[in-house]
Amino acid sequence: MTSQKAHPGRLATLVALVMLLSGCARQGHRDSPDPRPPISGTTGAVAPLAPEMLIGSWTLADVADPGAGKILRLAGDDLHLIGSHCGALGGTWRANSEGIFLADVWSASTAVVEGTPGCEKASRETPGWLRSVTAYQFDGAGLPLLLDQLRQPVARLIPGATPTPEPDKADSVLEPPVVTDEDRRALAPAVALPATLVPVDQQQPVRRWAPTSGHKAAYLEFTTDGEWHGSDGCNDQSGRWITGAGGTLLATTRATTLAFCSDSVPIEHWLMTARRSGLDGEILVLLDAQGDETGRLLPTN
């Protein structure tokens, strides 16, 4: 058998051809940047959102429930759902720069409650579609989308809604909301959870807790349906809650009685100002947006 040596010129041409094909292959599979902002809670970097952009009077679109309402008005921390089958509803809302959203309806106009069959109870509860909202993002046109826990759209918010004047509707509800410096401060990103604390997840808070000091009757209980109930020792308190990455905790608070206790514990204030939560051993620690510790609670069950 005779052996053949590769011609130097042919070998150089072959090497060049292989390198060219390899380079083309790499170009065809090059990772291009995704123009969409990463979704909060994924492994990618999260593009901060501006929750103050949610403030406004919005026409609701693409809501599955036809009686859910026509206008969602978000101003400060006040929420009004106008034009639902149960009339004008009121409550509170929370959102942060990580894309978390929480709403809580707990009031209704007196005329609607007394005059609308079937709404006496429903009008004081958060509608199912709004209860399912846990997040938000902005579409390509900069308009807000309210999302469920699977990041599926629940509603689109169209700007420029104008509520119709009615006898039981306050004039303040008719005015277009304006973003204030106070709103910007309240919705500014919270500082990170201290490294000494373990971030809580959606399951860990679900139990009954007692403050480490203060009135013996004071307590805080988180339930699996996203509700919290508590007492400062003399007044029953309640609201809704949600957690997120990095120990994020947002909660709404509802109207309560104002009975005086000499050693009352400000459970409601702790929840209203909470932005982070973590575990120090078995102790639940609540922190505000500046990272200042506001409350400590021990599990009771």
pLDDT in tens, 200-259: 998 999 999 999 999 999 999 999 999 999 999 999 999 999 999 999 999 999 988 888
> pLDDT above 90 covers what percent of the chain?
63
SS in 3 state form for 136-154? EEECCCCCEEEECCCCCEE
Q: How far is CA 222 from the centre of its chain?
A: 17
List the domains of the chain with CATH numbers. 51-186 (2.40.128), 198-299 (2.40.128.270)
Sign of the torsion angle spanned by Cα atoms 25, 26, 29, 32: negative
The pTM assigned to this predicted structure is: 0.81
d(CA 81, CA 155) in angstroms, rounded, equals: 13
Radius of gyration over alpha carbons of the chain, in Å?
26
Query: Which of these ranges, 24-38, 149-163, 276-290, has the smallest mean pLDDT?
Result: 24-38
Helix (H) or strand (E) holding 204: none
